[in-house]
Amino acid sequence: MKVIAHRGASAYAPENTMSAFKKAISMGAGGIELDVQLSRDGRVVVIHDEKVDRTSDGKGWVKDFDLIDLKALDFGSWFGQEYAGERIPVLEEVLDLLKDWDGLLNIEIKNGLIIYPGIEEKVAELIKKYDFVNRVIISSFNHYSLVEMKRILPQVKTGILYMAGLYEPWEYAKRIKAYALHPAYYNVVPEIMEGCIKHGVAVNPFTVDHPDLIRKMAAAGVSGIITNVPDVAIKILEEM
Ligand code: G3P
Ligand code: MG
């Protein structure tokens, strides 16, 4: 079971920052999940919320900032003074950081509350440029984005993010040529696991932090878990 660090090791460093990604690597995570959106000048930036308010000292929509102005914001102090001055990464910086690391990168395209036309094409160009096509899973709650990614780059793996109790979701995965389901953890029930294993669809639930839940997911046979506490998950797996 792959341990995928949610927004980096986000329990220990400000989410979606270089510090959080470096921490995930040093903890031995097998994967890293991050979220991407577009700045006003069309740069692929790594941030979860559509607004900068919660995780920086600025206010407003990501889409209304040029990169240079996003880079002027402090994305660390909200988490802890030792992270003061942490900057928002562009996807390129993260790809550069991870180029010699052998883990899995899960890029979540945020394309819901705000629609970012062309974001799939930009992500595709970057993963081609940095030779990540065969080591990424592109996920999204917007499944049109996943279909668009497969159209642009047929060999790329996609993961279907969802919260609802979908009926036979492996059929849907096959329909849109997705590699994996990325369900909220409570959707991991025996009939779903049986169907997915039988049909060769990977299952990577989120957000799996509690030790009991980590053990339960491992016992259920999921391919990976997306967690804020990769160190806890790695330790539990070693003990199982
Ligand atoms: O990709 C799993 C998880 O990140 C999805 O939810 O809101 O944390 O991006 P969210
Ligand atoms: Mg995410």
DSSP 133-161: GGGEEEEES-HHHHHHHHHH-TTSEEEEE
Q: What pLDDT band is residue 107 in, cutting at 50, 70 and 90?
A: very high
Q: How is residue 15 written in tokens? A: 């989410």
Q: Is residue 77 part of a domain?
A: no
Give the per-residue pLDDT at 191. Answer: 97
Q: What is the number of the ligand 1 atom nearest to the C-alpha of 159?
A: 1
* pLDDT tens, position by position, 177-186: 999 999 999 9
Q: Is residue 55 part of a domain?
A: no
Q: From the centroid of its chain, how far is CA 155? A: 19
Give domain status of residue 84, yes or no.
no
Number of domains in the chain: 1
The answer to whether position 86 is within a domain reads no
In a domain, 199, yes or no: yes
Domain assignment of residue 72, yes or no:
no
Asked if 188 and 202 count as a contact pair (C-beta separation under 8 A), the reply is no
Question: Would 78 be classed as within a structural domain?
Answer: no
Q: How far apart are CA 144 and CA 112, in angstroms?
A: 10
- Report every protein residue that has its C-beta within 5 angstroms of ion ligand 2: 35, 108
Q: Which residues constitute the domain of residue 204?
A: 2-49+91-239
Which pLDDT score, from 0 to 100, does residue 130 have?
98
Residues 6+ apart with CB under 8 A from 103: 25, 29, 30, 31, 32, 135
Nearest-angstrom CA–CA distance, 209 and 203: 16
What are the residue ranges of helices labelled H in 28-153? Answer: 67-70, 91-98, 119-129, 143-152
List, in sequence order, every residue forming a beta bridge with 138; answer none if it has no partner: 107, 158
State pLDDT tens for residues 130-179. Answer: 999 999 999 999 999 999 999 999 999 999 999 999 999 999 999 999 99
The alpha carbon of 48 and the centre of ligand 1 are apart by a number of angstroms equal to: 8
**Index of the ligand 1 atom closest to the CA of residue 7:** 4
Q: Locate the DSSP E strands across the chain.
A: 2-6, 31-38, 44-46, 104-109, 136-140, 157-162, 180-183, 202-203, 224-227
Burial class, 190, CB count within 10 angstroms (exposed 0-12 / middle 13-18 / buried 19+)? exposed
Residue 157 CA to residue 171 CA, distance in Å, equals 16
Q: To the nearest 10°, the Cα dihedral for 228, 230, 235, 237? A: 100
Task: Tell me which residues have their CB closer than 6 angstroms to ligand 1.
Answer: 6, 33, 35, 48, 108, 139, 161, 182, 206, 226
Tell me what the pLDDT averaged over the chain comes to. 98
Per-residue pLDDT at 85: 97
Ligand 2 centroid, distance to 182 Cα (angstroms)? 10
Please give the average per-residue pLDDT across 3-7, as a whole number: 99
Ligand 1 atom having least distance to the Cα of 141: 5
**What is residue 178's predicted lDDT score, i.e. its pLDDT?**
98
pLDDT digits 0-9 by tens, 188-235: 999 999 999 999 999 999 999 999 999 999 999 999 999 999 999 999
Domain containing 24 — which CATH number?
Answer: 3.20.20.190
Residue 64 located in a structural domain: no
Query: Is 182 an annotated catalytic residue?
Result: no
Q: How far is the CA of 206 from the centre of ligand 1 (A)?
A: 7
Can you tell me the distance from the alpha carbon of 27 to that of 40, in angstroms, rounded to the nearest whole number? 35
